[in-house]
Amino acid sequence: MSVDIESKFVGGLIGTGIGDGLGRNREGYSMVDSGKIVEIGKKSNKLIYTDDTQQMIGLTESLIHSKGFDGKDFANRLVQNFDISRGYGSGAIQVIRSLKDTSEWKEPAKRLFGGEGSYGNGSSMRIAPIGLFKYDDLESLSELAISSSKVTHTHRLGVEGAKLQALSVGLAVGKDPKEGIDKQNFIKRLSEFIDENIYLEKLELIRSLVEKNIDKRKVIKDLGNGVEAYNSVPTALYSFLSNSGNFRDSVAYGISLGGDADTIGAMTGAISGAYHGKKGIPKDWKSKLENKDKIISLAKKLMKTKKEI
């Protein structure tokens, strides 16, 4: 097996941005044909990203600067990069505003939702750089995913979603798209790291649905398309696995499910981009991504940092 790891780092990060930018105007809408999403891509002059990619950029910058994960540094970058026009979740807005006024960066996230913490998909949608950075050490990958989630999302289901998404990206890096993917084995390997029943049940569902040609309505009903991490991380994984042959199909499918479309697009794009690599992403989509050169440069720096530590 020979895989171009740098291409995969670039793929995982620009995949996030492309899925996010393509899905941006579909967030909150109903399902459509995948062809409609491809058409949106053709008609758009630029793929403008949202909070998903804005936070992904901050996490990547932080991993590079700190040569690993540092919660305080990441919290500072969430504050510095905050741009409300990108469309953040209400809990995320509260946490980031509180982080600005305190050095106790672990505290604001714990106060959300009556002290329950958030189970929104905000810490999952930005996690690609952790999956890339630790793709060769899934135990460390899981620990970093948990720590990075807790800066904004402390609810156990929010944390577990971030872990599952990061693991999916990490596992995809090590696979050679020329060899194809053993879907059953991919899901089995993920399950070994997952503790929460709702995710284990959805992984089991993906295992049974993925080899069949399933109606989209059933996918939405069984796996979800909502803002909760457990209603969108498994959906992104399914979108990738059921369309693993090429990046365009997987991302168009994920976004076409509607609901939290930018975020399902970002997460599907992260996994699919980490699998197919930069070369597997359609040129027209790549060229339209906002801040493409900056994101590519960050992916290369992330890989360099990994090599140096």
Residues between 21 and 50 with contacts to Mg ion, criterion CB under 5 A: 27, 50
> Closest by alpha carbon to 9, among 309, 295, 308?
295
Tokens of 123: 């810490």
111 interacts with ligand F2R by CB under 6 A: no
Q: Which of ligand F2R, Mg ion, none lies near 61, with the C-beta cut-off 5 to 8 A by kind?
A: none
Q: Which stretch binds ligand F2R (CB under 6 A): 38-46, 119-127, 142-150, 268-276?
A: 119-127
163 interacts with ligand F2R by CB under 6 A: no
34 interacts with ligand F2R by CB under 6 A: no
What number of chain residues touch ligand F2R (CB under 6 A)?
Answer: 23
Q: Which stretch binds Mg ion (CB under 5 A): 20-28, 31-39, 196-204, 288-296?
A: 20-28
Which of 53, 242, 262, 295 lies at the binding interface for Mg ion (CB under 5 A)? 262
| Residue given tokens 């741009």 in the structure block | 83
What number of chain residues touch Mg ion (CB under 5 A)?
Answer: 7
231 interacts with ligand F2R by CB under 6 A: no
128 interacts with ligand F2R by CB under 6 A: no
26 interacts with ligand F2R by CB under 6 A: no
Which of 6, 70, 73, 116 lies at the binding interface for ligand F2R (CB under 6 A)? 116
Do 131 and 12 form a contact (C-beta atoms < 8 A)?
Answer: yes
Residue 228 CA to its chain's centroid (Å): 13
Measured CA to CA in angstroms, residue 58 lies from 22, 73, 79, 121, 297 at distances of 20, 10, 9, 16, 14
Nearer to ligand F2R, 119 or 253 (CB): 119
Which of 22, 27, 240, 277 lies at the binding interface for ligand F2R (CB under 6 A)? 27
How near is the Cβ of 27 to Mg ion at its closest, in Å? 5
225 interacts with ligand F2R by CB under 6 A: no
Residue 198 CA to its chain's centroid (Å): 19
250 interacts with ligand F2R by CB under 6 A: no
How near is the Cβ of 259 to ligand F2R at its closest, in Å? 9
How many whole angstroms separate alpha carbon 59 and alpha carbon 164? 17
Nearer to Mg ion, 117 or 258 (CB): 258
Q: Which stretch binds ligand F2R (CB under 6 A): 32-40, 68-76, 199-207, 255-263?
A: 255-263
- Site for Mg ion, rule CB under 5 A: 27, 50-52, 260, 262-263
- Site for ligand F2R, rule CB under 6 A: 27, 50-52, 87-92, 113, 116, 118-122, 155, 227-228, 260, 262-263
